Amino acid sequence: MKFRAKIVDTACLNHFTRVSNMIAKLAKTCTLRISPDKLNFVLSDKVANGGVSMWCELEQENFFSEFQMEGVSAENNEIYLELTSENLSRALKTAQNARALKIKLTNKHFPCLTISIELLSMSSSSRVVTHDIPVKVIPRKLWTDLQEPTVPDADVSIYLPVLKTMKSVVEKMKNISSHLIIEANLNGELNLKIETELVCVTTHFKDLGNPPLASENASQDRNSEQMAEVHIDIRKLLQFLAGQQVNPTKATCTDEKRHCS
């Protein structure tokens, strides 16, 4: 197995750093999947047990000026590495205003993801900071547990409001209840609601819009004003909202066709 890559564009480096920071806020460990044309960060905790599941896909041509890899075999030309999310995020913190960043799979008595950061210098010479991040090579027999998840049919899909605004609302609600009800319909309406024996508080959002394909599929047998709802742990939702570092132009919430709690 071989892997080496290089980032020289400042915007690409900053975006890669934000993705790493986001993942570090979501889980202690993650899987890095390396293929000839993509990098994937994978979290595969059991959602039913309160864990976080994520599939983050980065096209290598959008980030790297150089990218070379050889997988475990010609038939399975991929590499799966398990690493501590915070170690990667901490290493990339030193890459602010860097001239270039190199990533390489090495073996220094144990497998490592070696990150070399070329820093700008007042003189003509440059400084290089190197981080060796221990990784665990995941064997081929376990890859099936780390594949892209399928998105099931949904009752309702809706675009979320600005995530900073949503985070501010949810943070205030967590002081009243540990669970949150999310309601949404096909008219672009979203409600964040908490209910206790003493109080009921609801925040309404309107005109958010619905993804076209999801709306077409669901509207065949669903009243557009009918609300679908899920009950979730506020702490888990805040964990997601606090982890958002990539400033998405659109974020979508999907209510799957199953009972959620």
Give the whole-angstrom CA distance, residue 171 versus residue 79: 39
The pLDDT value given to residue 45: 63
Lowest average pLDDT, out of 6-15, 97-106, 212-221, goes to 212-221
CA angle 106, 110, 114 (to 5 degrees): 35
Taking domain 156-255, whether its CATH number is 3.40.50.720 is answered by no
CA angle 8, 10, 12 (to 5 degrees): 80
> By percentage, how much of the chain surpasses pLDDT 70?
85
Instruction: List the chain domain ranges.
Output: 2-145, 156-255
Q: Cβ distance 126 to 99 under 8 Å?
A: yes
For the segment 224-244, what is each residue's pLDDT rounded down to a tens digit? 788 888 888 888 888 778 766
The helix/strand/coil state of 18 is helix
156-255 shares the fold of 2-145: yes
Q: What is the pTM of this model?
A: 0.76
Band (pLDDT 50/70/90 cuts) for residue 260 is: very low
Q: Convert the pLDDT of each residue in 176-197 to its tens digit.
A: 988 999 999 888 899 999 998 8
Binned at pLDDT 50, 70 and 90, residue 56 comes out as: confident
Domain 2-145 belongs to what topology? Proliferating Cell Nuclear Antigen (3.70.10)
Report d(CA 49, CA 51) in Å as an integer.
6
Read off the pLDDT of residues 97-114 as tens digits, 9 standing for 90 and up. Answer: 788 999 999 998 899 999
